[in-house]
Every structure is written in C-alpha cells, then in structure tokens.
C-alpha cells in the first residue's frame, strides 16, 4: 500500500486528480470505478478543469459507480446518479451510455444487484477504482460486518453512516436506510485502488485501514491485500499514522 501525505483537502484533491488523469491519458478507453460523497468533489472539479483546458478526453472512458441508495430514481436530486451528473458527467465529454450507476429505483434486489455485477464483470472490472472511507471504515456502502461481502448486494446502512450522510438531506429521517453497493470482492478485482481521505474525523479509520488487523469490522482493512493500492490523505487524516 503506497501512502501519499498531502497538506490539506485541496492538495489531496489535486494529487487524486493527477492519478485519475494519468489513467485516462495512458488508457483512453479505461474503466473507472467512481465514488460519491463530499471527499471526491475536489478531484472531480480538477478533472473538469483539465478537460476544459483540452488536457483530457473522456469520450472512450467507461465508468461504474460504487453504489446507490435503494428507492431513489436516477433523476432524484439526492441520488448518486444525479450527483455524478452534477459534479462530473455533464461537464465532460463522457458518453452517457458508458456511465453506470446501480439502479436504485429497481425494487427487485436480485435483479438490481446481480445485473450490476454482471455488467462490471463483462467490462473486465475497473482499471482504477476510486474510494472514499467512512468514519467507521466502510468503503462503498460496505459497513462493518462479521464477514467480507462478495458481489453487489443490498445493505442496511448503520446509524453512523446515516448520520454522516444526513448533511446532504433535510434531516436524518430523509436518508434512505438501504443501498445497493459493490461488494468487497468486486472492489478487490479492480486493477488499482485509490483511496482518498481528509480531516481528523477519518484519522482512526485511516489508521485501521493501513495498520490495523485485516477484519470485516473495518472493511477498508482488506485493501492491505490489494496488489496496487494508493492512499492519498491529508495531514489530519494521517494524524495517527506517524
């Protein structure tokens, strides 16, 4: 696991954008695994800037997002499909047909999850998978559990995750209680994994991911076993990793 220490969120975002941009330049038809939440917004903004400057071409890029709230349609302003349109897809020349997000509006769990897994597998899995990390060590929506998950599945969100995400809703009561997420097994099949983290609230999770025992009680710890994992985090997030 390669650790890149950055000064702050802006520096973290720039370095993460560097890694993603390099993937697109070196392999124009690359498969990107993408993440949502507040952490990757800065990186997406920098990718948009580079596209507008003529430095990047997304026309052949294929993307697969990690997760989506169950019960939300693609056009729901709180959906992750909407998020990706807002912060990246609508600002670059990626083909909408090449962008994929789990179908939160599909109430048939088996169809929604197995179908998405089949799509990701048919694409050969991501060349680069972008990940954030939750305060409890979750990646995607893979919450602490008794065992590592395998393929895409429906997860019941923990109260800590609901509370953390409630800032994006009017209240915690409005946050969906379930989500479709790529499982740990699917994430680990990505050729390269890039984890980004910032802020002191992530310090314990980042420490446990890098140095703690490999355990499903900290899902991100499994990344210690990935052959090509990069962690880009600011000083606050790495405070316990001295």
CB 142 within 8 A of CB 184: yes
At 111 the three-state DSSP class reads helix
Phi and psi at residue 115, in whole multiples of 5°?
Answer: -65, -40
Give the pLDDT of the chain (242 residues) as one tens digit per residue: 999 999 999 999 999 999 999 999 999 999 999 999 999 999 999 999 999 999 999 999 999 999 999 999 989 999 999 999 999 999 999 999 999 999 999 999 999 999 999 999 999 999 999 999 999 999 999 999 999 999 999 999 888 788 877 777 777 777 888 999 999 999 999 999 999 999 999 999 999 999 999 999 999 999 999 999 999 999 999 999 97
The catalytic residue positions are 67, 136, 138, 143
Domain map (residue ranges) of the chain:
2-234
Q: How many CA atoms lie within 13 A of 77 on its CB side?
A: 4
Q: Output the six-digit token pair for 41.
A: 């917004």
pTM: 0.94
CATH fold for domain 2-234: Rossmann fold (3.40.50)
Burial of 109 (0-12, 13-18, 19+ CB in 10 A): middle
């Amino acid at each position: 696991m390669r650790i890149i220490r950055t000064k702050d969120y802006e520096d973290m975002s720039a370095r993460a954008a560097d890694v993603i941009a390099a993937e697109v330049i070196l392999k124009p038809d690359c498969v990107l695994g993408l993440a949502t939440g507040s952490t990757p917004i800065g990186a997406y903004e920098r990718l948009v800037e580079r596209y507008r400057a003529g430095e990047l071409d997304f026309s052949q890029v294929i993307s697969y997002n990690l997760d989506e709230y169950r019960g939300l349609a693609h056009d729901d302003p709180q959906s992750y499909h909407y998020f990706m349109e807002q912060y990246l897809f609508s600002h670059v020349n990626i083909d909408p047909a090449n962008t994929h997000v789990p179908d939160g509006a599909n109430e048939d769990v088996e169809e929604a999850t197995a179908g998405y897994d089949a799509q990701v597998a048919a694409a050969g899995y991501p060349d680069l998978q972008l990940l954030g990390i939750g305060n409890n060590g979750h990646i995607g929506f893979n919450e602490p559990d008794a065992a590592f998950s395998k393929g895409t599945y429906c997860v019941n969100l923990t109260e800590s995750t609901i509370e953390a995400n409630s800032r994006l809703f009017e209240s915690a009561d409005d946050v969906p209680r379930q989500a479709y997420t790529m499982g740990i097994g699917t994430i680990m099949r990505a050729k390269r994994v890039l984890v980004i983290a910032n802020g002191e609230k992530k310090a314990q999770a980042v420490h446990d991911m890098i140095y703690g025992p490999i355990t499903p009680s900290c899902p991100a710890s499994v990344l210690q076993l990935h052959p090509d994992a990069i962690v880009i985090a600011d000083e606050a997030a790495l405070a316990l990793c001295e």
